[in-house]
Amino acid sequence: MPRDSRYNEKTDQGSCGEHEFFCSRLPVFVRGTGFMATAKVLLLESERANVPSFAPALEKRGYIVAIEHSAQTAIKRLAAILPDVVVLDAASLKTSGARICRQLRASTNGTPIVLVADKKNPPDANCGASVVLTTPFTPRKLLNTVARLLPAEEGASLQVGPIRLNLAQKRVRCGDREEKVTPKQAKLLEMFLRAPGTLLSRKAIIKHVWDTDYVGDTRTLDVHISWLRSVIEPNPRKPRYLKTVRGQGYRLDAPAG
């Protein structure tokens, strides 16, 4: 394994070749909740075989890693997978990374970006990176940096069956679909995810989500339920997960997925 000037200690990291995703997707459990959180990292790096990749270390830590080798494909992947953190290895691409970082920043909605830069070719201060790591450094430093940028417990994911909600990013994933939702929609879904199989009355939902005891007009709740179903249901007209209990309220029935 060739040494790389980016590292100041020996590592066992090798090139990823053509693999975009790693098979081992280790869950990260949120202490005290029983819910599962799995962070996704979009890694933009060189595809040269003689350049060690950061991907094995990230994957070993338990992250789902998607790899791209150009700014154009990385920007397309951003919208598809909605990563929790972007790692731009500009040093391996032999560029300062400033232009690419600005392009990525313009395409994200506040997603943290870690820019790995060559100390001989640093980016300017307004490149848009959340953190700039200048080579050489150890893989552990990158892992610690990524961990710090991830949301704390309140930003972890809640998952019941195939439905997963990232509280900080306000993103819902169900099967192969993933969409960003509004704060109210996220709060509503969070309530159901924290009480799966439990009948929640309209009054309780309205009190929790809108902080009011007034239940004279529940159309707003009905609209939000409809929006959520459009995100999580295969067929919103025939709900499989978010069920209506007539005259009482709603219940989330989520089978294992």
CA distances from 172 to 3, 101, 116, 167 (A): 41, 26, 29, 9
Same domain for 65 and 47, yes or no, is: yes
17 in a structural domain? no
Same domain for 121 and 191, yes or no, is: no
Same domain for 95 and 134, yes or no, is: yes
57 three-state secondary structure: helix
Tokens of 169: 């990013």
64, 41 in Cβ contact below 8 A?
yes
pLDDT confidence of residue 234: 92
Looking at 150, 166, 201, the residue that finishes a domain is 150
Q: Distance between CA atoms of 9 and 118, rounded to whole angstroms?
A: 16
* DSSP state, residue 155: G
Q: Distance between CA atoms of 100 and 73, rounded to whole angstroms?
A: 12
pLDDT confidence of residue 32: 36
Domain that holds residue 245: 154-252
72 three-state secondary structure: helix
235 in a structural domain? yes
Same domain for 95 and 177, yes or no, is: no
pLDDT confidence of residue 109: 67
Looking at 150, 184, 217, the residue that finishes a domain is 150
Q: Distance between CA atoms of 203 and 246, rounded to whole angstroms?
A: 14
DSSP H or E stretch at residue 210:
helix 202-210
pLDDT confidence of residue 151: 64
110 three-state secondary structure: coil
**Among 158, 178, 150, 173, which residue's Cα sits nearest to residue 79?**
178
pLDDT confidence of residue 246: 93
60, 140 in Cβ contact below 8 A?
no
173 three-state secondary structure: strand
Q: Is 223 left (phi over 0), alpha (psi -120 to 50) or beta?
A: alpha
- The 10s digit of each residue's pLDDT in 48-102 is 877 789 999 998 887 889 999 999 999 988 888 888 899 999 999 898 889 999 9
DSSP H or E stretch at residue 219:
helix 219-232
Same domain for 146 and 179, yes or no, is: no
Q: Distance between CA atoms of 41 and 22, rounded to whole angstroms?
A: 11
pLDDT confidence of residue 222: 93
pLDDT confidence of residue 152: 56
Reading the chain (257 residues) residue by residue, the pLDDT tens digits are 333 444 443 333 332 222 222 223 333 433 333 334 468 899 999 888 777 899 999 988 878 899 999 999 999 888 888 888 999 999 998 988 899 999 998 887 678 899 999 888 888 877 888 889 998 898 889 998 998 887 654 446 778 888 988 887 889 999 888 899 999 999 999 888 877 888 889 988 998 888 888 777 778 999 999 999 999 999 999 999 999 999 899 999 866 54
Tokens of 151: 């949301």
Same domain for 95 and 170, yes or no, is: no
The residue with tokens 């075989």 is: 49
Same domain for 52 and 78, yes or no, is: yes
Same domain for 78 and 117, yes or no, is: yes
**Structural domains counted in the chain:** 2
